[in-house]
Amino acid sequence: MMFRPKDRLRTVRSAARFVQPALRRLLATMLCAAALSTMTTTGANGQAGSLTGAQDGAQPASKTAVIPTETIYPGQTIDEAHLQVVAVTNPDLAGDYASGLDQVVGKITNRTLLAGRVIFVAGLREPYAVERGKAVRIVYSNGSLTISAGGSPLDNAAVGDLIRIRNTDSGMIVSGTVMADGTVHVVAK
């Protein structure tokens, strides 16, 4: 007798009817065993104990997340008054989300932050110290020699960023590092 594909399909379907209930029973047994292993029991001395193996009684640290209390739009500076720190109750929450106010306050958002949703750190940036097209002071220092000139940044940049600047006097484009005071220190070639 020759086995046809249609007959194989019937055989697989009939076998699946018996496998599914067996899998359900196996999963139910495993879940019951897991629940039983984490239940608190009373020992011989009357002290409550746990079967999970935690002997020191230390509680696991609860995770927190920072969420906005109102919608924050791209380009806005995030203020502490618009934020709330909450405990994370979703065990499936993953990613690089902000867990403390210090990671968020004073930063600028690149995307819309919805109220009640976690804030991902990748969507935040430091405020710009210099902005494209606005006048800045270019400074070059070498020992006791200091040269200063006016410049126009070709891009937006935060403190510590390497940026290209057009010298407004000569028209030459130079590269430099943005400093906290808003000046750009030129690197020597």
- Tens of pLDDT, residue by residue, the chain (189 residues): 555 555 555 655 555 565 566 666 666 666 655 555 544 444 444 444 444 444 444 444 568 889 999 999 998 999 989 899 988 888 888 888 888 888 899 999 999 999 988 899 888 998 889 999 899 999 998 889 999 999 999 999 989 999 999 999 999 999 999 999 989 999 765
Strands 184-186 and 136-142, sheet pairing: parallel
* DSSP helix/strand/coil, 122: helix
Q: Is the pTM of this model over 0.75?
A: no
* DSSP helix/strand/coil, 183: coil
Query: To 5 degrees, how large is the angle CA 90–CA 53–CA 45?
Result: 125
On the 0-12 / 13-18 / 19+ scale of CB atoms within 10 A, 154 is middle
